[in-house]
Structures are given as structure tokens and as C-alpha cells.
């Protein structure tokens, strides 16, 4: 309306406000009687084009909605899973100022602020069929996954012991807000020349539950990282956003009997970890953590691999996340379940094979 038609959005506002909720409810298959309302729009309140444009351009460039699904429906009581955030923050630019914080993998499945004092090794069997291919058993059409929490049928299960490794931090001493990417860098030895690695970041809550947050993946022979902006994204890689080259000329088979560092870039997250909760990172073969898609062509093809993860002074395997001090957390833990596409399950302690 503003930049193409050069008209104030107010001219179409009554139509949008009347029709959009019905279309949204039908498309998402929300339960009967679960009404959806649009939030107030200050731009639509402006009668003139010039004022609407001025109001729009005065808004912050970036808006982050936290705990989507845990917020109250406008004008109504809260229904867990409805598409409303518990709180939001706005920022003038992207990337949002953040400091890289690393937790280091250590013995007995720990994540610590410093590398382990002694070398250690944990191992697992990389098996892409160790769990179900996806973590959701319902339909992907209207309702179900797209409805509220009463319609969800999550089946997010941990791989059997021996088919993954897991590391958990000490309780956080303060609310910790992560906005952006990050990475899991691990020292890896594989029994096969190639192996796929999946990293899963989750929050182990103080109430005994665990919430899925984000994933990252890498094929080990594609571990070569870009060092300049000459890459697929045409941007300079950083500690918080490493970028593999993905060039055929950079493919490197895993050495037969040697640990090598492999960086697993994490997809972006906007998550508030509350004080008292723990951050967990798990490493396994792909699959089992997404609702409607999975990997059908995994490495090693048609077999499993014995994978070892090293840690310690010369092998500082770590989880690194972008921590921002620009956001505050005004709400408590969201109900379990309530977050959209972030399944929540009872936490089960995990014992690694090794240290």
C-alpha cells in the first residue's frame, strides 16, 4: 500500500480486519470457537499517506517475538499454542549486537566455561534410523501441527544410549537471551571416510522438562570453512556464523585414525533461557528432530559409523551461542507444551559411552 500504491493502508483496513482472521483460522485448522484477532496496527490508524509512511518508517527495523505460542490471545484468556508471543523486543538493525559465549564439552556429559583439564573421548554409533525420521506423528495440513497445543501429537524421543552423546551446562545464573546463529565445534574421529553430524540444542528446565530449541547439520567431508566473503552467502563468516565453502574442490575425507575439528553451523534461534535452566547440546546422526521432513540420503550410506568426540586442552570441543544484553525477559517459563515447533518433553538424564 505505502510503497507501490502510495495509499494509506487505512483504506483497506476494514476488509483486512474482517476477513484475515477467518482465513487464518480455516487455513490453520484451529478448533471451533478458537477465535483469532489481529493486533492493533498504528499504521492503519493514519488517515493520510504521508503520515502512514512516516509512522511505518519510524518503526524499528527488527522485531523478535519470543516464546511464540505462550502469549495471551488479545482480549481473551491464554490458550497454549495459539500463535502469540509471550513478549517481544525490537532492534534498530541486524545483526543484533551480541557477544559470543562458549561452553566446552567435558567428562560425564558436562558443558563448562573452560576446556576440560584432561583429554577425554566419548563415542556413539551414527545411525540415521536410530529414531523415527521425524518427531511428529500427526498431519501437516490444517489443524494438528498448525493448531494449538491441544491438537499436537509430538513424538520427540532421544536416540538410544550409545547412538548419541549429550552435554549439559550448569544451571544458568541469570536470564540468557540468544538471538542469531552460533556453532558446535567438535573434534571428531570416524570409522568411515564420511559421516553426517546433527547437533541439537535444547533447554533443560527447572521443572524437569526439556524444550527443543534448534538444530545444525554438516557432512564431515564438507567441513572446510570459508575465510572470506567469497562464499555462497557473499558475506564474511564470523565466529557466530561460520560458513562452509561447500565446494567440491574442498571435500576432505575423514582421516582413518585421527581427530579433526568439524564445525556444525547452527540455524538461527531467538530464545530466552531462564535463570536456573541448563543448556544441552546433543550430537548424533541426522533425523528425529523435525516434524515433516527428514534426510533420506545420509552418510555413511547404507551402514553405520563409529564416531568419537574428543575434548580437553588440545581438543576444545565447544558450543558457541550469540548472547545479547539488549533484551530483557519479563515472563516466566512457558507451559509445556505451548511453544510452536519447539516440542517439550520430560527430561531424561543421559550417560555417554566413554568419559
Contact 354/224 with Cβ under 8 angstroms?
no
> Whole-angstrom Cα distance, residue 307 to residue 255?
12
Element (H, E) at 58: helix 49-58
Q: Taking the model in full, what pTM does it have?
A: 0.92
Minimum mean pLDDT range among 64-68, 76-80, 88-92, 106-110: 76-80
Contact call for residues 165 and 122 (beta carbons, < 8 A):
yes
Render pLDDT for 140-194 as a digit per residue (tens, 0 to 9). Answer: 777 788 888 988 999 999 999 899 999 999 999 999 999 999 999 999 999 999 9
Nearest CA-CA partner of 38 in 60, 54, 14, 62: 14
Please name the residues in contact with 145: beta carbons below 8 A apart, sequence gap of 6 or more. 136, 138, 139, 151, 152, 291, 292, 341
Whole-angstrom distance, CA of residue 177 vs CA of residue 321: 10
* Overall average pLDDT of the 59-66 stretch: 94
How many C-beta atoms surround the C-beta of residue 107 within 10 A?
19
Question: Strand pairing of 164-169 and 176-180?
Answer: unpaired
Predicted confidence (pLDDT) at residue 94 exceeds the cutoff of 70: yes
Mean pLDDT along residues 5-25: 77
Whether the predicted pLDDT of 89 surpasses 90:
yes
327 prior amide bond cis, ω within 30? no
* Residue 54, H or E segment: helix 49-58
Amino acid at each position: 500500500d505505502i510503497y507501490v500504491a502510495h495509499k494509506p493502508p487505512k483504506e483497506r483496513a476494514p476488509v483486512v480486519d474482517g476477513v484475515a482472521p477467518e482465513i487464518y483460522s480455516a487455513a490453520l485448522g484451529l478448533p471451533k470457537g478458537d477465535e483469532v484477532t489481529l493486533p492493533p496496527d498504528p499504521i492503519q490508524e493514519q488517515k493520510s499517506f504521508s503520515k502512514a509512511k512516516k509512522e511505518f518508517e519510524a518503526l524499528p527495523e527488527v522485531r523478535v517475538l519470543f516464546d511464540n505460542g505462550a502469549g495471551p490471545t488479545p482480549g481473551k484468556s491464554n490458550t497454549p499454542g495459539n500463535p502469540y508471543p509471550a513478549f517481544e523486543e525490537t532492534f534498530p538493525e541486524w545483526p543484533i549486537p551480541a557477544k559470543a559465549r562458549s561452553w566446552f564439552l567435558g567428562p560425564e556429559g558436562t558443558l563448562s566455561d573452560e576446556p576440560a583439564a584432561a583429554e577425554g573421548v566419548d563415542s556413539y554409533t551414527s545411525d540415521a534410523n536410530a529414531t523415527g525420521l521425524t518427531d511428529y506423528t500427526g498431519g501437516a495440513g490444517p489443524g494438528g501441527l498448525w493448531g494449538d497445543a491441544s491438537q499436537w501429537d509430538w513424538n520427540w524421543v532421544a536416540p538410544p544410549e550409545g547412538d548419541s552423546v549429550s552435554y549439559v551446562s550448569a544451571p544458568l545464573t541469570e536470564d540468557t537471551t540468544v538471538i542469531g546463529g552460533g556453532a558446535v565445534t567438535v573434534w571428531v574421529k570416524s570409522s568411515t571416510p564420511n559421516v553426517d553430524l546433527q547437533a541439537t540444542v535444547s533447554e533443560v528446565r527447572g521443572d524437569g522438562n526439556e524444550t527443543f530449541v534448534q538444530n545444525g547439520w554438516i557432512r564431515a567431508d564438507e567441513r572446510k570453512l570459508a575465510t572470506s566473503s567469497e562464499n555462497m552467502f557473499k558475506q564474511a563468516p564470523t565466529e557466530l556464523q561460520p560458513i562452509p565453502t561447500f565446494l567440491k574442490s574442498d571435500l576432505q575425507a575423514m582421516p582413518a585414525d585421527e581427530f579433526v575439528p568439524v564445525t556444525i553451523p547452527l540455524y538461527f534461534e531467538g530464545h530466552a533461557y531462564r535463570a536456573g535452566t541448563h543448556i544441552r547440546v546433543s550430537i548424533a546422526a541426522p533425523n528425529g528432530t523435525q516434524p515433516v521432513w527428514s534426510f533420506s540420503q545420509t552418510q555413511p550410506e547404507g551402514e553405520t559409523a563409529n564416531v568419537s568426540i574428543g575434548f580437553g586442552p588440545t581438543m576444545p570441543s565447544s558450543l558457541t551461542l550469540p548472547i545479547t544484553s539488549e533484551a530483557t525477559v519479563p515472563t516466566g517459563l512457558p507451559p509445556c507444551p505451548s511453544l510452536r515447533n519447539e516440542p517439550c518433553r520430560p527430561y531424561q538424564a543421559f550417560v555417554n559411552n566413554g568419559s
